[in-house]
Structure 1
Amino acid sequence: MSRLTLMRALRSRVIDGVLGYTRSVFPQDFVFGAATSAYQYEGAAAEDGRSPTIWGTENERQRYRGDVAAYGYHKYKGDVKLMAETGLEAYRFSISWSRFIPNGRGAVIQEGLKYYNNVIDELAKRGILPHIMLYHLDLPQALEDEYDGWLSTRIVEDFTAYADVCFREFGDRVLHWTTLAEPKSIPSSTSIPSSI
């Protein structure tokens, strides 16, 4: 069966028989959803005050760029609409720390908060539960340059302050939080000991 046929079946919620599965095969409380990471989805890498991240720096060294990505920063409404039409019940997305705290600490940029508030509100409007990943490989480059990012205990205070902003700004609508993804894959200008 082609991917297109599968997507059409999911869109029309006619899951019976697709690849031999029916929705009833899954537990009643099973949640169908999708997931993205900020760097791979949002694009707009230098818009509205967002600063460079370690993922962007590493990818630029390898000649991959997240400037455009899937352009989600500007087309999230259409993407959320497609999620709803597909019958998805949840969406896990990561937040780009540098989108609203560009230096990793200090002043909060309202445009970045507005974007994530808009995404969360759009999900709610369509009946899709937001699941937030606080960190997915995109530490603000400023913290990496200042103290080697995750290799320093100084990260604890900065990450706590960042998480507090997220909980305060989005916690009234977000029930599901994940701290970080892929901890052994954190790009760094410093090599990470294999014992970690």
Structure 2
Amino acid sequence: TSAYQWEGAVDEDGRTPSVWDTFSHSNNNGNGDIACDGYHKYKEDVKLMTELGLESFRFSISWTRLIPSGRGPINPKGLRFYKNLIKELRNHGIEPHVTLYHYDLPQILEDEYGGWIN
């Protein structure tokens, strides 16, 4: 799953806006502010995965949760979340498959450089 579609918690623990936040809040579209609330409910989700017999889980890392300014220092709260998620998955015999980028460019880099255009 993509971080934006699963995590929610868009303005918690240092996460900053991505281009998806900007896009989904335009034209009265639905948004991912809460999404599946995996940021708060990952332990419950992993339990459900175990009950379903899943052997792996693919998820993406939110660039803006891990590196809020788009570049520079790592957000310790974001890093802790991903470490805890991976630990929970492994403790339940579920292999994590991490996607490093799933179209959630930090809005600050879009504003500063025009995104990937520059």
TM-score bracket relative to the smaller structure? over 0.9
2:10 matched residue in structure 1 = 45
Is 1:150 matched with 2:116? yes
Aligned-residue Cα RMSD (Å) equals: 0.8
Q: How does 1:97-176 map to 2 (within 5 A)?
A: 97-152=63-118
Deviations 1:118-164 (A, max 9, x none): 00000000000000111112111010001011112xxxxxxxxxxxx
Deviations 1:14-48 (A, max 9, x none): xxxxxxxxxxxxxxxxxxxxxx1100110000000
Runs of 4 or more above 3 Å deviation: none
C-alpha distance in structure 2 between counterparts of 1:140 and 1:66, whole Å: 15
Deviations 1:63-122 (A, max 9, x none): 222111111100000100110111100000011000021111012110000000000000
1:83 matched residue in structure 2 = 49
Aligned length: 117
C-alpha distance in structure 2 between counterparts of 1:44 and 1:146, whole Å: 24
State, as a whole percentage, how many aligned pairs show the same letter.
60
Higher RCO (CA < 8 A, seq sep 6+):
2
Letter paired with 2:26: R
Deviation at 1:56? 1.0
C-alpha distance in structure 2 between counterparts of 1:96 and 1:130, whole Å: 15
For structure 1, list consecutive stretches of 5 or more residues without a partner in the other structure: 1-35, 153-196
1:11 matched residue in structure 2 = none
Secondary structure (helix, strand or coil) at the match of 2:57 reads: strand
Is 1:58 matched with 2:9? no
C-alpha distance in structure 1 between counterparts of 2:2 and 2:32, whole Å: 11
Aligned partner of 1:71 among 37, 43, 55: 37
C-alpha distance in structure 2 between counterparts of 1:39 and 1:62, whole Å: 18
1:7 matched residue in structure 2 = none
Deviation at 1:62? 3.1
What is the TM-score when the length of structure 2 is the normalising length? 0.96
Secondary structure (helix, strand or coil) at the match of 1:93 reads: strand
Letter paired with 1:48: D
Letter paired with 2:51: E
1:172 matched residue in structure 2 = none
